[in-house]
Structure 1
Amino acid sequence: LQRQNGLEDERGQWDSKVEFILAVAGNVVGLGNVWRFPYLCYKNGGGAFLVPYFVFVVTCGIPLFLLETAMGQYTQEGSITCWRKLCPVAEGIGYAGQLILFYSCICYITILAWALFYLIFSFSSQLPWASCNNTWNTDNCVDFSVQNSTIRRSGQTNTSSATTEFWERRVLSISGGIEEVGSIRWELLLCLITMWVVCYFCIWKGVRSTGKVVYFTATFPYVILFVLLIRGLTLPGALQGIVFYLYPDPTRLADAQVWMEAGAQIFFSYSLSSGSLTVLGSYNSYNNNCYRDTFWLCLLNSGTSFVAGFAVFSVLGFMAHQQGVPIEDVAESGPGLAFIAYPQAVAMMPLPQFWASCFFIMIILLGLDTQFVGIEVIMTSLSDMYPKLLRRSGRREIFLLFFCFTCCLMQLVMVSESGMYVIQLLDYYACNGSCMYFLSVFETLSIGWIFGADRMCDAIEHMTGEDPSPLFKLCWLCLTPVMSLGAFIFSMVQYQPLTFNRWYVYPEWVYSLGWLLAASSIALVPGCALIRLCTGTGSLRQRWSRMCEPDSELRLTKVLRAEHQYGTTAMEMATLNT
């Protein structure tokens, strides 16, 4: 970046197309691809689940992926200021997406701290979750290596595995409820601070540092995933696990819940409606072929999810085979898979320390990309809003340090004995699919109907030289908002109050807080529009008209204006000059 009088007068770009591809891949390919998609697939009809999954890929995933990436590349702005240029009335979508992303980052990095904790213990001479001979174990603990035979002989039902007790009593030291805060888990706090330090240095120089870090963080997880896949496929019982993962049950397609879970998986795994793709696209050169990139990146994301299912369920099949229990008894999703089921399975293998280390390194790297890109997205959005303040030499680094430190302080409650209850509260309400569906509806309506789907297609063609398929226009105008609205309404109708481990019911005030967190983001969409409408000048009609007009300085607008005024030659000159 060039500096004049201490002011960075350029925003910066990716040094190469590869950096953009790796940054986006690292952002969208995360923990959900490994611990959520395989579980959803087996739970919702095996191979039949791929039908609603690909319906949402075609109608929502790819169209929104292209739209958001193109918005950033076209405006060269972050996820808030890009809306000011394209459709000012919808600026609240940018604020809402950033708030949801902030909530997500707060939760996400705590998971990385847990994974780091497990990784450290993976180097022990004996894995501490492999036996009941530890100070934190209870009398109900059953060593999984003899668990099945022990239970059959004794007839015990109130038992817990050594892995579960390590997770709940050693790692979390979980209290009896959210109101029992307890003490801070200092070991987890140190792991949390470590992850924040790593994130800080990954992005402290903006895309100049991020673009280099992703060469490792976005590629090495695939090496480990491939190694774990080969190892899993060679284990006894692996075939049964894979059959269980993919065996189709077409009757599940009649369940609307299956379709909603497919939609939620697409929105989360593709990082839609959060503004991440817009910011990453904004660092591209204007003529980058984001149209072609979209297809390859979406294919990579979904393909990774599918392949990860083989790596996960081959190992779960092995564990079920070793214990002599049905696979559904060991299949887990989310933290239950990463911190209970899979660690228990690898502890049964030869060289368990090696396989445990590989698994948790993969988990950390998969999550680290998503985490530091999320923080970079927030920083970029703020820098684009206040360039004179945050682009001065050294100020970005100082503000980023302050931001990371503040977030770490806010997370003290998450590394306390009640931390798991708080994380689940944030995840269930503040970061849920309903909020993303809501933003998607207004995002597509704003671009498709106010800015104009035709105008957006023209912008993409002007940047890439390729005319987008008419299907994209149809999706932005009709299919995507209809699918998103249907999913939003269904999620509201089917709402169930949050519980923890199916037995702990939160106090009533917690549910009110949860709804307040959910409303804090979606209320910004109409709220920002209303503020603009009330604070503008002129008649109500004039204010509304200005709020729906794109910036006259947009590149294609200037080119078309020159073409209309001077003809084709001037248009070509304007294109070259801009």
Structure 2
Amino acid sequence: MDQQRPIWGTRTGFILAAVGSAIGLGNIWRFPAVAYENGGGAFFLPYLFALLTAGIPLLIMEFTMGHKYRGSSPLTFARMNKKAEWLGWWQVAISFVVATFYSVIIGWALSYTIFSFNLSWGEDPKTFLLTDYLQVGSAGSFGGFVPQVLISLVVVWVIVLGVLIAGVKKGIEVATKVMIPLLVVMFLIVVVRALTLEGAAEGLNTFFKPDWSKLADGKVWIAAYGQIFFSLSIGFAIMLTYSSYLPKKSDITNNAFITGFSNSAFELLAGFGVFSALGFMAAQQGVGVEEVVDSGVILAFAVFPQIINEFPFANEWFGVLFFGSLVLAGLTSLISIVETFVAGVQEKFNVSRTKSVLVGGGLASLVSLLYATRGGLNFLDVIDYFINNFGVALAGLVEVILVAWVFKQLDSLKSHADAVSDIKLGAWWKICLSIITPIVLGYMMFDNFRQNLTGPYGDYPQSFINKYGWTAATGAILIGFAFMYMKPWKKEMLKTPASISTTKKEVS
């Protein structure tokens, strides 16, 4: 079985795929606002600390697990300890849920790329977004499909499933080798253009101005860990799956450092671009930059179109570049997310890659139709919040505790990583994963539960939150256990591969 496992064609291919997974929509629309709200320039101190004490150590751990056990997330955990297979399926289920709504956001970006050619959003982009484009209805109501959203969503899934059917080397690797350099070039043009705008300097001053008093606030440090954790694709099977396709001679530790710092560099670049543009918008409106700061969907699809409207020239092309960048950043992440359950289903049920893509990816695409309805934005908001905070973060905490404390695998993984890497892991790696990361993630989870059990999320009715938010989060765990007992692995499948094949033959 292992002799037929697909292998990345080049080290560059793997790194670009891992970086492509990490660089997503959150880098552009989440990081700048998080940094601004948590001390501006001062935030980079806890951010760097979090990267070095949690982000990169966790990346090294997941890269090593995938490389050593040579399987999808469920098979990797089953090979580590048969009782842990449910965790792999839980991560896969989380990825499945994320894929269903992530795809529709990419669909919006695709629509807006087209809208940019004639600035279709008009003079009031926020009203256009909520009323004309998404046609948002009341929480809990479906209200029928929105044709423009549905068409874009179908296009996104055709691209993603086509790439995945082509395989690891001929599909994912080829796609990311094209998309990531193109994304960097396009976004660099966006940033350079934003830096030349009137008010850009004031925007950057607002972004970078350090508020050192914030460093005494524990919540700022938790925000830094949260940003690193969610940004690096840790804790929901992606990096485990991608690293399982590495050949024997792979510098795991160095790959993790390159991936981690590349992701952070792009986040910093996004900060320059977003706050330069916000500075311009504030200057045009005669208000302070702090009055126009926003994040998430509203920043991308309402604030940025407003900024583009006020450009002195070439408005349309700036729009195409910005929303095109969102499409590329989203696609490389979505491909990696869907690959996790494609690989899991393929190995567990011993089916061809094509069949696994069509079943797993096809089912995800059908579920994603929920978000192409008039109630789509409400469903997306609640499910996104709960699956991230009580899925991804909680699964990451459980993973670290099981690996470090229950199965006591850190020494074994350290030996494996050191055997194939130029950079040897010191005591810092074990200390980070056994003490610092569990404490920080544990506090994050405690605080999340405290906030959400004492009051509802947003302005939604509690019944709506329970029906969709909590159901998505708890359902993913139940699916994990269900798949674990669905079909037992063959004994030979559970053996840790003694030697790693370097064949580049693809599984069809």
User: TM-score normalised to the size of structure 2?
Assistant: 0.91
The answer on whether the counterparts of 2:456 and 2:465 sit within 8 Å (CA) in structure 1 is no
Give 1:59 shift: 2.0
What does residue 102 of structure 2 align with?
108
Farther off after superposition, 350-359 or 476-485: 476-485
Give 1:256 shift: 3.3
What does residue 442 of structure 1 align with?
398
The answer on whether the counterparts of 1:437 and 1:485 sit within 8 Å (CA) in structure 2 is no
Amino acid in structure 1 at the alignment position of 2:346: S
How far apart, CA to CA, are the structure 1 residues paired with 2:253 and 2:177?
Answer: 23
Give 1:491 shift: 1.9
**Offset from partner CA, 1:100-151 (integer Å, 9 cap, x none):** 1111111111101111111111122xx12233xxxxxxxxxxxxxxxxxxxx
Q: 1:530 to 1:32 in 2, by over 3 A?
A: closer
**Offset from partner CA, 1:295-314 (integer Å, 9 cap, x none):** 11111111110121001100
How far apart, CA to CA, are the structure 1 residues paired with 2:129 and 2:242?
Answer: 36
How far apart, CA to CA, are the structure 1 residues paired with 2:103 and 2:443?
Answer: 32
What does residue 72 of structure 1 align with?
66
How far apart, CA to CA, are the structure 1 residues paired with 2:82 and 2:440?
Answer: 25
How far apart, CA to CA, are the structure 2 residues paired with 1:276 and 1:180?
Answer: 33
Q: 1:116 to 1:249 in 2, by over 3 A?
A: same
Q: Secondary structure at the match of 1:308?
A: helix
Q: Which one of the candidate residues 45, 56, 73 is aligned to 1:51?
A: 45
Structure number, greater radius of gyration: 1
Q: Secondary structure at the match of 2:409?
A: helix
Q: 1:487 to 1:296 in 2, by over 3 A?
A: same
Q: In the alignment, does 2:476 pair up with 1:521?
A: yes
**Offset from partner CA, 1:197-250 (integer Å, 9 cap, x none):** 111111112202111111111111110111111111111100000011111112
CA RMSD in angstroms comes to 2.7
How far apart, CA to CA, are the structure 2 residues paired with 1:16 and 1:43?
Answer: 40
Q: 1:361 to 1:86 in 2, by over 3 A?
A: same
Give 1:505 shift: 2.8
Q: Secondary structure at the match of 1:425?
A: helix
Give 1:524 shift: 6.5
Q: In the alignment, does 2:361 pair up with 1:369?
A: no
Query: When you count helix as a share of all residues, which structure comes out higher?
Result: 2
The answer on whether the counterparts of 1:439 and 1:522 sit within 8 Å (CA) in structure 2 is no
Amino acid in structure 2 at the alignment position of 1:464: S
How far apart, CA to CA, are the structure 1 residues paired with 2:422 and 2:248?
Answer: 11
User: How many positions carry a matched residue from both structures?
Assistant: 495
Q: Secondary structure at the match of 1:414?
A: helix
The answer on whether the counterparts of 1:425 and 1:498 sit within 8 Å (CA) in structure 2 is no
Amino acid in structure 2 at the alignment position of 1:414: Y
Give 1:254 shift: 3.3
Percentage identity across aligned positions? 28
Q: 1:412 to 1:529 in 2, by over 3 A?
A: closer
The answer on whether the counterparts of 2:14 and 2:246 sit within 8 Å (CA) in structure 1 is yes
Q: In the alignment, does 2:392 pair up with 1:430?
A: no
**Larger relative contact order (Cα-Cα within 8 Å, sequence gap ≥ 6):** 2
Give 1:373 shift: 1.5
**Offset from partner CA, 1:386-436 (integer Å, 9 cap, x none):** 33xx13xxxx3244234333333322331111110010111011232x433
How far apart, CA to CA, are the structure 1 residues paired with 2:135 and 2:498?
Answer: 56
Amino acid in structure 2 at the alignment position of 1:555: A
The answer on whether the counterparts of 1:347 and 1:356 sit within 8 Å (CA) in structure 2 is no
Q: In the alignment, does 2:148 pair up with 1:187?
A: yes
**Offset from partner CA, 1:537-568 (integer Å, 9 cap, x none):** xxxxxxxxxxxxx9664438x9xxxxxxxxxx
Q: 1:326 to 1:373 in 2, by over 3 A?
A: same
Q: In the alignment, does 2:165 pair up with 1:173?
A: no
Give 1:50 shift: 1.7
How far apart, CA to CA, are the structure 1 residues paired with 2:88 and 2:100?
Answer: 19
The answer on whether the counterparts of 2:222 and 2:440 sit within 8 Å (CA) in structure 1 is no
What does residue 31 of structure 2 align with?
37
Q: 1:218 to 1:408 in 2, by over 3 A?
A: same
Amino acid in structure 2 at the alignment position of 1:356: G
**Offset from partner CA, 1:18-71 (integer Å, 9 cap, x none):** 110110011001111111000111111101222222232122111110000111
Give 1:374 shift: 1.1
Q: Which one of the candidate residues 173, 176, 197 is aligned to 1:211?
A: 173
How far apart, CA to CA, are the structure 2 residues paired with 1:211 and 1:71?
Answer: 21
Q: 1:235 to 1:428 in 2, by over 3 A?
A: same
Amino acid in structure 2 at the alignment position of 1:78: S
Q: In the alignment, does 2:491 pair up with 1:491?
A: no
**Offset from partner CA, 1:430-450 (integer Å, 9 cap, x none):** 232x43332223222322232
Q: Secondary structure at the match of 1:13?
A: coil
Give 1:508 shift: 2.2
What is the 5 A alignment of 1:260-279? 260-279=222-241
What does residue 56 of structure 2 align with?
62
**Structure 2 residues without counterparts, runs of 5 or longer:** 503-508
What is the 5 A alignment of 1:349-364? 349=311, 350-364=313-327
Amino acid in structure 2 at the alignment position of 1:361: G
Q: In the alignment, does 2:355 pair up with 1:378?
A: no
The answer on whether the counterparts of 2:379 and 2:468 sit within 8 Å (CA) in structure 1 is no
Amino acid in structure 2 at the alignment position of 1:110: V
Q: Secondary structure at the match of 1:80?
A: helix
How far apart, CA to CA, are the structure 2 residues paired with 1:552 and 1:399?
Answer: 23
What is the 5 A alignment of 1:250-399? 250-349=212-311, 350-387=313-350, 390-391=351-352, 396-399=353-356
How far apart, CA to CA, are the structure 1 residues paired with 2:362 and 2:356?
Answer: 10
Amino acid in structure 1 at the alignment position of 2:19: A
The answer on whether the counterparts of 2:93 and 2:479 sit within 8 Å (CA) in structure 1 is no
